[in-house]
C-alpha cells in the first residue's frame, strides 16, 4: 500500500470539509445544537462534515471501515479502518473561538499507519505516514528539544464530563504550574497534539479522551520523534482514555509526576 499516495489523496478530502466548517462559522443557531452527553455538543456541521469525510475516504479505499465520533456510519472493525473526528473542538466552534480541527487516522490491521490533523482557521495541515517523518504544509517538523521540565511549555485539557479523577488531575496541574513555563488549554486535543509534534508545545496530557480525539495527532508526534504513552507509561492511550505526549526528555519527567499522583 502506497501510504504517501494515500496521504496526498486524503488531504484534499479533509480540506474540503474544512472549508465547509469554516463557512458555517457563526451561522449555527441555538436550535441547531444538541447535547449528546454532559457538555458534549454537536450540530449539523459536525454531522455533515463527517458524512463528507466518510464518503471521500471510502472512495479512496473501497472496503475500508470507520470509527467515527458522530455515528453517521456504522462503526466497524476491519483490516483498513479510518478513525475520524470531523470537528475536534465543537464547543470552540459554536462559541466562535478559533481553535478547532479535523483529525483523521488510518489503521492497517490494528496499527496506525497514517495521521492527519487539519487546523481549520489557520489552514495548517499536519500529517505523517509510517516511516516518513512528519510534515506541516509540506515542510518537515520535529518535536522540540527543550528540557528540563522547568523550561517546557505544556498543554492540557480540563475535564468536562468525567470528574472521577479531578483531585489527582489538579494535583498534577499544580505541580506543572509550579515547575514549567506554563500550561495552555486550547480546547482541541488534536491541535494540542499537532503543536507538540511541531515543537510549539513541549508536552501534553489529558484524561477522558476518545480514540478519534488522539489517533491522528499521536501518530504524527511519534513520526516527529516524540513519545506517547498512557498514564502508566504503556501504550493504551488510544482506547484507554488517558495520554501523555511530549518530546522524549520532557515526556519522561511528565510521566514520573503523573505516575506519582495517579498511581
131 shares a domain with 157: no
Same domain assignment for residues 73 and 188 = no
Query: Do 10 and 137 have their domain in common?
Result: yes
**Whether residue 92 is found in the same domain as residue 217:** no
Q: How many CB atoms lie within 10 A of CB 24?
A: 17
Task: Quote the domain boundaries for residue 171.
Answer: 149-262
Which of 141, 164, 199 delimits the end of a domain?
Answer: 141
Among 98, 118, 141, the domain boundary falls at 141
Length of the chain: 263
User: In 144-184, which ranges are E strands?
Assistant: 153-156, 182-184
What's the pLDDT tens digit per position in 253-263? 999 999 999 98
Res 263: pLDDT: 87
Q: Looking at the structure, tell me whether residues 198 and 251 fall in a common domain.
A: yes
CATH number at residue 22: 3.30.540.10
Distance CA 112, CA 67 (A): 13
Whether 154 and 200 map to the same domain: the answer is: yes
For residue 37, the tally of other CB atoms under 10 A from its CB is 8
pLDDT at 41: 82
Euclidean distance between CA atoms 150 and 128, whole angstroms:
29
Does pLDDT of 171 surpass 80? yes
Q: Sheet holding 242-246: strands in order across?
A: 182-184, 153-156, 203-207, 242-246, 227-229
Between 124 and 71, name the one with better pLDDT.
124
Q: Is the pLDDT of residue 37 over 80?
A: no
Residues 132 and 7 in one domain: yes
Residues 167-172, mean pLDDT to the nearest whole number: 97
CB 212 within 8 A of CB 85: yes
pTM, entire model: 0.96
Q: Which residues contact 57 (CB under 8 A, 6 or more apart)?
A: 10, 13, 64, 66, 82, 84, 104
Residue at which a domain ends, from 113, 141, 169: 141
Query: What is the total count of domains within the chain?
Result: 2
Amino acid at each position: 500500500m502506497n501510504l504517501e499516495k494515500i496521504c496526498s489523496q486524503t488531504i484534499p478530502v479533509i480540506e474540503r470539509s474544512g472549508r465547509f466548517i469554516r463557512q458555517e462559522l457563526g451561522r449555527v443557531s441555538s436550535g441547531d445544537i444538541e447535547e449528546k452527553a454532559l457538555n458534549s455538543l454537536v450540530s449539523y456541521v459536525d454531522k455533515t462534515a463527517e458524512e463528507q469525510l466518510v464518503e471521500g475516504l471510502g472512495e479512496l479505499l473501497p472496503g475500508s471501515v470507520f470509527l467515527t465520533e458522530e455515528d453517521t456510519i456504522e462503526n466497524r472493525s476491519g483490516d483498513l479502518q479510518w478513525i475520524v473526528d470531523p470537528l475536534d473542538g465543537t464547543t470552540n466552534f459554536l462559541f466562535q473561538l478559533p481553535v478547532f480541527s479535523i483529525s483523521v487516522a488510518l489503521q492497517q490491521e490494528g496499527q496506525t499507519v497514517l495521521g492527519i490533523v487539519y487546523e481549520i482557521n489557520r489552514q495548517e495541515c499536519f500529517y505523517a505516514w509510517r516511516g516518513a517523518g512528519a510534515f506541516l504544509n509540506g515542510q518537515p517538523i520535529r518535536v522540540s528539544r527543550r528540557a528540563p521540565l522547568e523550561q517546557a511549555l505544556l498543554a492540557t485539557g480540563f475535564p468536562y464530563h468525567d470528574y472521577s479523577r479531578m483531585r489527582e488531575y489538579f494535583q498534577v496541574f499544580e505541580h506543572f504550574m509550579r515547575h514549567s513555563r506554563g500550561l495552555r488549554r486550547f480546547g482541541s486535543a488534536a491541535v494540542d497534539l499537532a503543536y507538540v509534534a511541531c515543537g510549539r508545545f513541549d508536552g501534553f496530557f489529558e484524561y477522558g479522551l476518545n480514540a478519534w480525539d488522539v489517533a491522528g495527532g499521536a501518530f504524527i508526534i511519534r513520526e516527529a520523534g516524540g513519545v506517547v504513552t498512557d498514564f502508566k507509561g504503556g501504550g493504551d492511550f488510544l482506547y484507554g482514555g488517558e495520554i501523555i505526549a511530549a518530546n522524549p526528555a520532557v515526556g519522561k519527567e511528565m510521566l514520573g509526576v503523573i505516575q506519582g499522583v495517579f498511581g
